[in-house]
Amino acid sequence: EVRLVESGGGSVQSGGSLRLSCAPSGYSDTKNCMGWFRQVPGKEREGVAVISDYTITKYADSVKGRFTISQDNAKNILYLEMNNLKPEDTGMYYCAAADRCQWWLQPVPTSDFRDWGQGTQVTVSS
């Protein structure tokens, strides 16, 4: 069974930083596309950042310049460095993986991703 385990969420004040991690288990092959998504109650899950083929990155307009997605190739761990956090960044953050994704689309479809983590909560207070 493929599992994705997120960590690193928490509560910070506006302007603060957090680093999320996602460690996959249950498979040894690498996924060519991984991403971070977030969701708040009553709203659809939205894409935050995606990385494809280890080098192609895509960001939601709302996080460009503040968030950085990266991937440890050897350990297959996915990271999301979040700086200058704002209250509107509050939400449950999910890690997701896919063999392939349509990274050239904006937003990258959530339906491209088959494997999902349980989420880690990020709360930013003003």
pLDDT (tens digit per residue) in 8-63: 999 999 999 999 999 987 766 678 899 999 999 999 999 999 999 989 999 999 99
**Local confidence band at 72 (pLDDT 50, 70, 90 cut-offs):** confident
**Quick check: 20 and 104 in contact, CB under 8 A?**
no
Distance of CA 93 to the CA centre of its chain: 6
Paired sense of beta strands 18-25 and 33-39, if any:
unpaired
Helix (H) or strand (E) holding 20: strand 18-25
- Please state, rounded to an integer, the average pLDDT across all residues of the chain: 93
pLDDT at residue 97 is higher than 80: yes
pLDDT at residue 64 is higher than 90: yes
